A and B are shown apart, each in its own frame.
Chain A
């Protein structure tokens, strides 16, 4: 394991005057942001505000229309193998025929062409990873027979398989129940603390990660805000951002935003799969 020294505080992601547009439509612009090792950045905002474009830009799959983006000191495209990417669980093919351990293994050598030559070392590494994310019990289960929460554990194992310096999570909690949301965020946070891995966490719903977040990037159609949750998630700040009255209320440590245009009335907890059976856990 190549644990990164904590004192290495050079930013792992750096955006300067960054803008992204599709044709005439500008998604966001004038974005200045540094993400440092060990930092937990939550990316919030309504649908269509460019959260997904932000993820694609960091992965080097979407060029900026203006400004600069460096990831680990270079172009985003070249940093791809140092980024552990965790999408939402529904993104996994319904036809997934392989086992949990194979998904983790793809994280190590799935991008290589040609036949697989050496195996033993990688197999042991996969076992270690599955153990570390608590997925050892179903390492050999077909992916199609795993629940959403189990899949996300395996996914995080896959993302950690390459010892990434950045964890990029795109709605990883979507359609998970509260227990699994907690388990998944704990895994991510543990990694951040043990290895100083920076976390960029795109989400609709801040509350499951509110206690972990260092800073928030709030994207809205009219602009964006960067700062600590206390700075950004206030009635005044969001009212200015949206240009219309928005109320932010804190109820028992939870943040409730009311009145934001395009903000979904309730967080997207509705499972996409009707057969989701994660609910009960004694």
Chain B
């Protein structure tokens, strides 16, 4: 009991919560932007079967960020550079799904290795190093904030423009191509957008856990709806809830933000999965009814 209490207090300590809250104001704002970006990009990550690509991109994003840390450059910019490099390489080399996975499998460890090298050379605070992998909440200072928000706006604008043809090409590539949708160009464009979205997520949840923002919320939403409006809306809500909830809980504790974000995100998924059973039953029942009618 005392041991449990001890651990509890080690994890949560909500004294001075008000003052702490002011410190993470930037992160809370950034969290909404990340939730939007991750939740929306996630819809297409699922449709296009790209979770592994997300993981691959995030490792190179980590390499870029750690290079920036070593050189004293802007970490968000470094992270974006690494992301775009990886996304571009995957987009060019892996147009077919089979090739894509091996390309990612080759790029990913290389990126992680580079990142470890740069961190080993870095002589600064250890918390900075650890944060890139597992996330940190007070990482967002004002110059980084403008990078984060600027990139988010860019991603959201790009998604708004290509949403419909991209959804068409992702669901039904054959017919989309026949109807004149530039399927390959869209595929490449989306990889770049995804690269940016991943670079943003790395800033808060860290390179190892990007999937929790870019895949889990969309996967949870897809369990309960197939509506083209409700799916992205729920995905964004879930992503924002995970990240803001994570920040608010992590604030009262000494451990990094990521376990909170991943736990909330996973819980939402689990709930949606159970709720989704109702849907399967409904359409499953329909088929039996049709058959015996």
Contact residues of A with B, CB < 8 Å? 59, 61, 77, 80-81, 83, 85, 87, 91-99, 102-103, 106-107, 109-116, 137-138, 140-143, 145, 147, 155, 158-159, 168, 277, 280-282
The answer to whether A102 and B173 touch (CB under 8 A), given A97-B43, A113-B162, is no
Inter-chain contact B162/A95, CB cutoff 8 Å: no
Of the stretches B82-90, B262-270, B284-292, the one at the interface is: B284-292
Inter-chain contact A97/B176, CB cutoff 8 Å: no
Most chain-A Cβ atoms within 10 A of its Cβ — which of B172, B180, B284, B291?
B172
Contacts of A143 in B (CB 8 A): 171, 226
Inter-chain contact B175/A87, CB cutoff 8 Å: yes
Contacts of A140 in B (CB 8 A): 226
The answer to whether A110 and B165 touch (CB under 8 A), given A59-B178, A85-B178, is yes
Inter-chain contact B293/A282, CB cutoff 8 Å: yes
Inter-chain contact A138/B283, CB cutoff 8 Å: yes
Complex interface residues of chain B between 121 and 177 (CB less than 8 A to chain A):
160-165, 167-168, 170-177
Show 24 A/B contacts (Cβ-Cβ < 8 Å), sorted by A. A95-B47, A96-B172, A97-B46, A97-B47, A97-B171, A97-B222, A98-B226, A98-B228, A98-B231, A99-B228, A102-B226, A110-B168, A111-B164, A111-B176, A111-B179, A112-B165, A113-B165, A115-B163, A137-B286, A138-B286, A142-B226, A142-B283, A155-B175, A282-B291
In the bound complex, CA of A89 to CA of B52 (Å): 26
Contacts of B287 in A (CB 8 A): 147, 277
Inter-chain contact B177/A61, CB cutoff 8 Å: yes
Most chain-B Cβ atoms within 10 A of its Cβ — which of A102, A103, A140, A280?
A102
Inter-chain contact A145/B171, CB cutoff 8 Å: no
Complex interface residues of chain B between 207 and 228 (CB less than 8 A to chain A):
222, 226-228
Contacts of A106 in B (CB 8 A): 164, 167-168, 171-172, 175-176
Q: Chain B, interface size: which category?
A: 35 or more
Contacts of A113 in B (CB 8 A): 161-162, 164-165
Contacts of A91 in B (CB 8 A): 172-175
Q: Smallest CB–CB gap between A61 and chain B, Å? A: 7
Contacts of A142 in B (CB 8 A): 226, 279, 283
In the bound complex, CA of A168 to CA of B178 (Å): 10
B224-237 CB contact bits vs A (8 Å, 1 = yes)? Answer: 00111001000000
- How many inter-chain residue pairs (CB < 8 Å) link A and B? 125
Q: Which residue of A lies closest to B226 (CB)?
A: A142
| B181, CB-defined interface residue at 8 Å | yes
Inter-chain contact B290/A137, CB cutoff 8 Å: yes
Q: Which residue of B lies closest to A281 (CB)?
A: B291
Q: Which residue of B lies closest to A77 (CB)?
A: B180
Contacts of A138 in B (CB 8 A): 283, 286
Inter-chain contact A111/B174, CB cutoff 8 Å: no
Contacts of A109 in B (CB 8 A): 164
Contacts of B47 in A (CB 8 A): 93, 95-97
> Contact partner of A85 among B46, B163, B175, CB < 8 A?
B175
- Beyond the given A92-B172, A97-B43, A280-B291, please list 8 additional residue pairs across the A-B interface where CB-CB is below 8 A: A83-B178, A85-B178, A91-B175, A93-B172, A98-B167, A111-B179, A143-B226, A159-B175
Q: Smallest CB–CB gap between B205 and chain A, Å? A: 24
Inter-chain contact A61/B175, CB cutoff 8 Å: no
| B273, CB-defined interface residue at 8 Å | no
In the bound complex, CA of A154 to CA of B17 (Å): 55
Q: Smallest CB–CB gap between B93 and chain A, Å? A: 21
In the bound complex, CA of A145 to CA of B181 (Å): 26
| B280, CB-defined interface residue at 8 Å | yes
Q: Smallest CB–CB gap between A167 and chain B, Å? A: 12
In the bound complex, CA of A162 to CA of B176 (Å): 14
In the bound complex, CA of A112 to CA of B177 (Å): 13
In the bound complex, CA of A282 to CA of B49 (Å): 37
> Contact partner of A111 among B168, B222, B280, B292, CB < 8 A?
B168
Inter-chain contact B167/A110, CB cutoff 8 Å: yes
In the bound complex, CA of A113 to CA of B175 (Å): 16
The answer to whether A85 and B179 touch (CB under 8 A), given A141-B283, A282-B292, is yes
Q: Smallest CB–CB gap between B87 and chain A, Å? A: 19
Inter-chain contact B286/A110, CB cutoff 8 Å: no
